[in-house]
Structure 1
Amino acid sequence: METMTLPKRTLLSTALLSTTLCSAAMAVNANAAEANPNDLLNATLWMQNSVEYKANVQGMFQLATMRAEAGLHDKNWSALPAMQPEGFGQLPPAIIVDCDETMLDNNVYEAYLIKSGKGYSSKTWSQYVQDKVTGAMPGAVEFANYAQKKGITIFYVTNRKKENEQATLENMKALGFPMTGAKDVLLTKGEKPDWTSNKTTRDQFVAAHYRVILMLGDNLGDFTDASGTPKERLATYKANQAHWGKDWIMMPNPEYGSFESAAFGGNWSLSTEQRRAEKISALKAWQPKS
């Protein structure tokens, strides 16, 4: 039998140590997730791994392409008719899109929250954005480039903060998004004093100079500031029936959004357990007769 030399022993010891540390890290992550069950789990698993989600999103971009074609050739077509100036039919066409979970896919950040047993924080979110590792939604880059070729300017109206704008811009350019057509097409939260998390002022900024033929988003707030309780949200949804699927395209996002906070009155000061209890209470459930 060959006597093991010192370098071989060292390599073996290093490999064993590495394996042990890796196993320990996995155990820590598993214990963190088990100790802090996260409501993001199934939603993130579906959005990250399922072909059903990818097919759904790609289908929405196919619909958006068809609707953009229709809107491009109909000068009376507008997704924001109340905001458009007189004679808006002569304005150049534009599309307003949200970024996160509409054009950009942040499932790796959500997976980090689950595996680390942590909740969302602006600090870790900013670190993630600055790392510029965000991916593109299936079909998003292709849709954006289609619009550019048709002479349609896409405005990315996002609630990513002003301080993260440059990193977001670089990330999106690297993914192949056309960030052209106007001096500034990435409109971030806080970029101007009145550009708050409510997007109306930014929508008005675009609508004053462009005919907005289409809007894409994953949250009610991407289309209208009217929100509130679940009952009020339902009323807003019903009041805008003519828009859905025509010039307002809603993307699927079961991970987060105003649908969740509406269930507990937007009171984020409640503990995770209290918020979960309120969400469960908001569910309408079938009950067996016996």
Structure 2
Amino acid sequence: MKLNSAAKKYGLSLAAAMLVSGCVNTTVPTKAESPKPDDLLNATLWMQNSVEYKANVRNIFHLAKIQLDDALKNKRRTALPDMQKPGYMKLPPAIILDCDETILDNSKYEAYLIKTGQGYSSTTWKKYVQNKVAEAMPGAVEFTRYAASRGVEVFYVTNRKKVSEQATYENMRALGFPMGNGKTDTLLTKGEKPEWGSAKGNRDAMIAKRYRVLLMLGDNFGDFTDKASGNLKQREAAYREYMSHWGTDWFVLPNPAYGSFESSAFGRNYHLSPAQRRQKKIDVLNSWSGK
């Protein structure tokens, strides 16, 4: 059936009105934007979801427990031979642990950075710490409680700041970590004393004056020696210098998300953009030629 001229005019007018009013969707569907590159993604995915990571961490705490028992029997053993004074064999035993990514799992914070497209900032980190949502690393509570049951003082030397010490203490206590008897400060934070900066050597030395330090556990080279602040070649030399400690009285927890291993690759120049840092990291890789 053919439409008369009046009907045609009415149809055209109706279509125009619908376009103006937005009743007709003329938007062409577009593909969802791809996630932006983020160096934290695979590391955080592995730490949160892989059984390999959980097993790796438990392996380390299991080995540390074996070495702890041996060190309790052998009074000459110490994890800080350069800091212990003559007669240290008669001192009460202690162990020193870092907190973040050693006994406290902060992968929720890393996941937050990934999902919001942000980089680390002291503002968001402080808010996260104050929320007291960090979880315990697999086997960490059991290991520290075992050490305490053997009469070993458990010290936590962390670069969380003094302002966050109370929140950290409450978070750790709620998770079941031994936090001392109230007479000894066992949670030693950055800035708690004016001389306590990022380097941990002075805090370790203070403990070594009063205790025989049996073991040290951390996720970063700087948790064991202040020589961690060197360049890549210097760090490699220091690693080899302390070879006898690894797996005996120094235990490193895996942390592929962040640490001095990453910052040393771009010269600790945090003014560089994420893309520039990534390029610096690529530049130091030892690559197959492809031939």
TM-score between both structures, scaled by the size of structure 1: 0.87
Percent of pairs with identical residues: 62
- Work out whether 1:154 is the aligned partner of 2:154: yes
Q: Distance in 1 between matches of 2:111 and 2:137?
A: 16
Other-structure match for 1:201: 202
Name the residue aligned to 2:180.
Answer: 180
1:166 corresponding residue in structure 2? 166
Runs of 4+ that moved beyond 2 A: none
Q: How does 1:30-179 map to 2 (within 5 A)?
A: 34-35=35-36, 37-179=37-179
State the shift of 1:211 in Å.
0.1
Give, in angstroms, the shift of residue 85 of structure 1. Answer: 1.5
- Structure 1 letter corresponding to 2:279: A
CA deviation after TM superposition for structure 1 residue 52, in Å: 0.2
Which structure is larger by alpha-carbon Rg, 1 or 2? 2
Number of the residue aligned with 1:25: none
Q: Give the gaps of 5 or more residues in structure 1.
A: 1-29
Deviates more, 1:179-188 or 1:214-223: 179-188
Distance in 2 (CA, whole Å) between partners of 1:172 and 1:220 is 23
Which AA in structure 1 matches 2:165? E
Could you tell me which runs of 5 or more consecutive residues in structure 2 were left unpaired when the two chains were aligned: 1-31
Secondary structure of the residue aligned to 2:164 is helix
CA distance in 2, matches of 1:81, 1:90: 14
Which one is further off, 55-64 or 179-188? 179-188
What residue in structure 2 maps to residue 214 of structure 1?
Answer: 215
Report the equivalent of 2:236: 234
The SS at the match of 2:255 is: coil
Structure 1 residue 34 displacement after superposition: 1.9
State the distance in 1 between where 2:176 and 2:184 align: 18
Amino acid at match of 2:98: D
Letter of the structure 2 residue corresponding to residue 271 of structure 1? S
User: Aligned partners of 1:81 and 1:236: how far apart in 2?
Assistant: 16
TM-score, normalised to structure 2, is 0.87
CA distance in 1, matches of 2:164, 2:55: 30
**Cα deviations across residues 197-251 of structure 1 (Å, max 9, x unaligned)?**
1000100110000000000000000000002111110000000011000000011
Q: Which secondary structure does the structure 1 equivalent of 2:213 belong to?
A: strand
Counterpart residue type for residue 191 of structure 2: G
Whole-Å separation in 1 of the counterparts to 2:290 and 2:208: 52
Cα displacement (A) at 1:266: 0.8
Q: Structure 2 CA distance, aligned partners of 1:248 and 1:144? A: 15
1:248 corresponds to 2:250 = yes
Structure 1 residue 287 displacement after superposition? 2.0
- C-alpha distance in 2 between matches for 1:219 and 1:288: 33
Paired letter, 2:199: N
Quote how far apart the aligned CAs of 1:80 are. Answer: 0.3
Task: Say what the alpha-carbon RMSD is for the aligned residues.
Answer: 1.1
* SS of alignment partner, residue 155 of structure 1: strand
**How far 1:119 sits from its partner (Å)?**
0.1
CA deviation map 1:34-56 (0-9, x unaligned): 24x21000000000000000000
Please tell me the residue identity of whatever aligns with 2:126: S
